[in-house]
Amino acid sequence: MTHLPISADLIAEQNDKRLEAVEEDYAALSRKLTRNGINISDVRQKVSDFSVAVPSWGTGRGGTRFAKFPIPGEPTNIHEKLEDCAVINQLSQATPRVSPHFPWDKVQDYSALRRDAEALGLGFDAINSNTFQDQPGQSHSYANGSLASTDAATRAQAVAHNIECIEIGKKLGATDLTVWVGDGTNFPGQQDLGRSLDRYLDAAAEIYAALPDDWRMLLEHKMFEPAFYSSVISDWGSSILAAQTLGEKCKCLIDLGHHAPNVNIEQIVARLHRFDKLGGFHFNDSKYGDDDLDSGSINPHQLFLVFNELVEAERNPRGGFSPSYMIDQSHNVTDPIESMMSSADAIVTAYSKALLVDRDALHAAQETNDVMLAFQTLRDAYKTDVSPLLAAVRADKGGAIDMIATYRASQYRERKSQERAAVGLGAGIV
């Protein structure tokens, strides 16, 4: 029995006002695609089947190193976070899974948490461990690293936490463990760059050994922050070498914001897939060195090019292709529910446009080195307005044609601000 937070009648009433316009635009899009030899129903099915997970920690107002500005009605525990995730999924119909982060989302009874999620129409995605912060009562500090720490007891504690995450994940029905560590250095000479990787690999191997057969370990690289001179898993090169060293069940996870500026991320996607090491994504956007802006807000074309490679990979799966897609952003100045609905829309838009690429024409142009035709083939798909298709898919599945307007009309946040405890002011990154 599901108990969804937004009234189905309100969604229907909001959709009624917009349905005629969507149908008109959808018919025009369908005619355009037919002229290009594309059957809109095939694309519609794929778009309808597509989903991306949302991060439990993204439901609260994030912060920067300088400040955090909470809003009334923010969630303060995993149950409230799940409720907000259910709103995002109910209106977007594209985010049916939540990716939890431990120890932030710790509870006593994980079976009850799983039932709570199910009642809200949600499941759990990759489990994220956290050895980048110290927790109250912890025996050893991560101040000098976790899996790569020079201190054996600290490494053992970080390994034990990751194994505990696997145990929790089993109870929640997850099958992926995402490992991102903040380990690295701030000064040249601070650590031996080779030996710190050795320690990381040995500790990561202990976690890998505890993975159930049907689980994957996803290594997330990040060039800098919190370590500003070197990170132990800084780039996709370190990531794929570590994943190859650890074994078959270990894959690489690309967080779109974790690269040097202007890096060709779509090429990294193709490379990792070529070696059967593409495990997942954290979607967000970035302008400078930040990794937490809303997906598609800065460079939607890059997002499209990433999906272009993902669609190629889907058609040519090599050793198997089942990447775990997740949003990972920090919402410092918006209502997180609105940001995640808008981001889910940007991600599904990029995927839909990539589905429209005339692959035969593209491959033929590539083989004959017709540079302009190859480029124009991508351009044609990118220029297509797929919004009527996405709106129709959402409406079909019980979601909202206009997600933000419907959310605002529901007054969900206002209601929660009456019911929920206030969040204290504070600094801190999520």
Contacting range for Mn ion; rule: CB under 5 A; set: 2-10, 162-170, 248-256, 269-277? 248-256
Determine, following the binding rule CB under 5 A, whether residue 292 of this chain makes contact with Mn ion.
no
Cβ count near 287 (within 10 Å):
11
Nearest to 99 by CA among 274, 315, 328: 328
**Is residue 124 within 8 Å of residue 178, measured between CB atoms?**
no
Binding partner at 291 among Mn ion, ligand PSV, none, C-beta below 5 to 8 Å by kind: ligand PSV
DSSP E strand stretches across 126-182: 127-128, 176-179
Q: How far is the CB of 60 from ligand PSV (least distance, A)?
A: 12
Q: How far is the CB of 54 from ligand PSV (least distance, A)?
A: 13
Q: How far is the CB of 59 from ligand PSV (least distance, A)?
A: 13
Side-chain half-sphere exposure of 429, counting CA atoms within 13 A: 11
List the one residue from 255, 266, 292, 345 that touches Mn ion (CB under 5 A).
255
Binding partner at 249 among ligand PSV, Mn ion, none, C-beta below 5 to 8 Å by kind: none
Q: Percentage helix, strand, coil, to 5, in the chain?
A: 50, 10, 40
- Site size toward ligand PSV (CB under 6 A) is 10
Determine, following the binding rule CB under 6 A, whether residue 180 of this chain makes contact with ligand PSV.
yes
List the one residue from 176, 291, 294, 309 that touches ligand PSV (CB under 6 A).
291
State how far the Cα of 258 lies from the Cα of 31, in Å rounded to an integer: 40
Determine, following the binding rule CB under 6 A, whether residue 220 of this chain makes contact with ligand PSV.
yes
Here's the x/- map for ligand PSV, 125-164, by CB under 6 A: it reads as ---x------------------------------------
| Segment (H or E) for 115 | helix 110-119
Determine, following the binding rule CB under 6 A, whether residue 105 of this chain makes contact with ligand PSV.
no
**Is residue 85 within 8 Å of residue 77, measured between CB atoms?**
no
**Is residue 410 within 8 Å of residue 6, measured between CB atoms?**
yes
Determine, following the binding rule CB under 6 A, whether residue 282 of this chain makes contact with ligand PSV.
yes
- Please enumerate in sequence order all residues whose Cβ is within 8 A of that of 354, keeping only pairs 6 or more positions apart, or say none: 304, 307, 308, 310, 311, 381
Closest CB to Mn ion among 81 and 413? 81
Closest CB to Mn ion among 55 and 145? 55
**Is residue 332 within 8 Å of residue 76, measured between CB atoms?**
no
Interface residue list for ligand PSV (CB under 6 A): 57, 128, 180, 220, 222, 255, 282, 291, 328, 430
Interface residue list for Mn ion (CB under 5 A): 255, 282, 328
